[in-house]
Structure 1
């Protein structure tokens, strides 16, 4: 890191959803901080951030177990897990098809569960580890038309808190990051659709910093939660959202001259 201390040197990190967006940004940050980084995604990515990369579907329990076993065999341990694999979908309940519901819940919630289930035996044996799930502000509060996505991310938040309760006695910390709307390929796929201009502008305005977030800003929070600075942080759902969940704004302070 340009002569600076590499604060994750000697640690081994596994990142799912690592081929793009938040997962890739987390992997790259961990690499810069000196960690050995193992990536996983449906799409294989060649990037110097990774010491190994596994092509896998996070809903495949056997593939997840194999990845962790391979990591331990090659690198001796797993210190950090980031579960960034996820998909989006939209619709109020009466418009959501059952197979679309199943896909979102399977990847976002069951996939996270299977990642934890695969890595926990190793961390339990080590008596240490930091697990960082990627949830969403939509797992903390509702957002119109997002029934399946919101349900999946709300489930991730409570799964995270339960794991923190169950495994804290073994030195394992478990926290969730709840990003606001972050400029990723998945974000652009939705927001760049025809007819989304006013929705995009309104959502952007509800981020009190007046902009959407960057993947690197989520990676900064993921670095903190993996680092020794967060040694007493567990069971938390950390909103990294530019003030999106702070509350509503309706233009009153602008009327009072605050611009």
Structure 2
């Protein structure tokens, strides 16, 4: 018996990184999962690697920033298994830029995916959960959504949206049996971070971030996924409105 045994969940941005690790942990813990991503090929490869068939795992290719797509992701869970117990609002983009390097188009893109996409998927999930009288939402914030950082002029504010949305929705829907929490990862060794190592400036940034985490290393996607699974499960049944840092001590400084 896993701690998510029989739970029906939607995980957005599941093709890689923290989303992929969350998908894997949820399946290990017994959940039924709708895995979504904008990258259909990447999503298909991730699903194939899990070795699970359609009785536990289905997919939706779509863009969380598009209302119809976000609604379809939630509807897939209800249509397939008749309910929705958990949403992991993970999909996002992570640009690194100072404000003078950030175009209006860059800002709008980050806010569309990380901000509006989280709003749309949370709204669709809450509409289902409110009728059930139960549910758990876990939003992906960041240390950049809890404290200021350099070169995060668009990404950081978008993650403050995630933090704020978590707090407000938790209060708004607690009486209806819906819990809303977030995780705030530190720098995690995802594919995107590994790609930074291909350039001199990227390597310098990663080395700097390693040094700023008191544990002296980057986090692993699975370490974040395990925290997400805890917040999604009944083991955190009296926890709502919390932003759980998974950051090797970064925010404790």
Residue 104 in structure 1 maps to residue 100 in structure 2 = no
Name the CA distance, whole Å, in 1 between partners of 2:195 and 2:21: 18
Name the CA distance, whole Å, in 1 between partners of 2:143 and 2:127: 30
Partner of 1:167: 173
The 3-state SS of whatever aligns with 2:201 is: coil
**87-96 or 193-202: bigger deviation:** 193-202
Superposed displacement of residue 92, structure 1: 2.1
Q: Deviations over 1:211-244 (max 9, x none)?
A: 0000000011011101111001100111100011
**Rg comparison, structure with higher value:** 1
Partner of 1:21: 17
User: Which one of 125, 135, 154 corresponds to residue 148 of structure 1?
Assistant: 154
- Provide TM-score, normalisation by structure 2: 0.93
- How many equivalent pairs are there? 243
Name the CA distance, whole Å, in 2 between partners of 1:79 and 1:25: 19
Superposed displacement of residue 195, structure 1: 2.6
Superposed displacement of residue 87, structure 1: 0.5
Q: Deviations over 1:47-73 (max 9, x none)?
A: 235611110011111111122223212
Check whether the contact 2:138–2:182 (CA below 8 A) recurs between aligned residues.
Answer: yes
Residue 43 in structure 1 maps to residue 3 in structure 2 = no
User: Which one of 216, 226, 230 corresponds to residue 232 of structure 2?
Assistant: 226
Partner of 2:93: 87
Residue 7 in structure 1 maps to residue 3 in structure 2 = yes
- Provide TM-score, normalisation by structure 1: 0.91
Q: Deviations over 1:120-145 (max 9, x none)?
A: 11100011001000110000001112
- Poorly superposed stretches of 4+, deviation over 4 Å: none
Which sections of structure 1, spanning at least 5 residues, go unmatched? 248-259
Which sections of structure 2, spanning at least 5 residues, go unmatched? none
Superposed displacement of residue 22, structure 1: 0.3
Superposed displacement of residue 189, structure 1: 2.4
Name the CA distance, whole Å, in 1 between partners of 2:195 and 2:217: 18
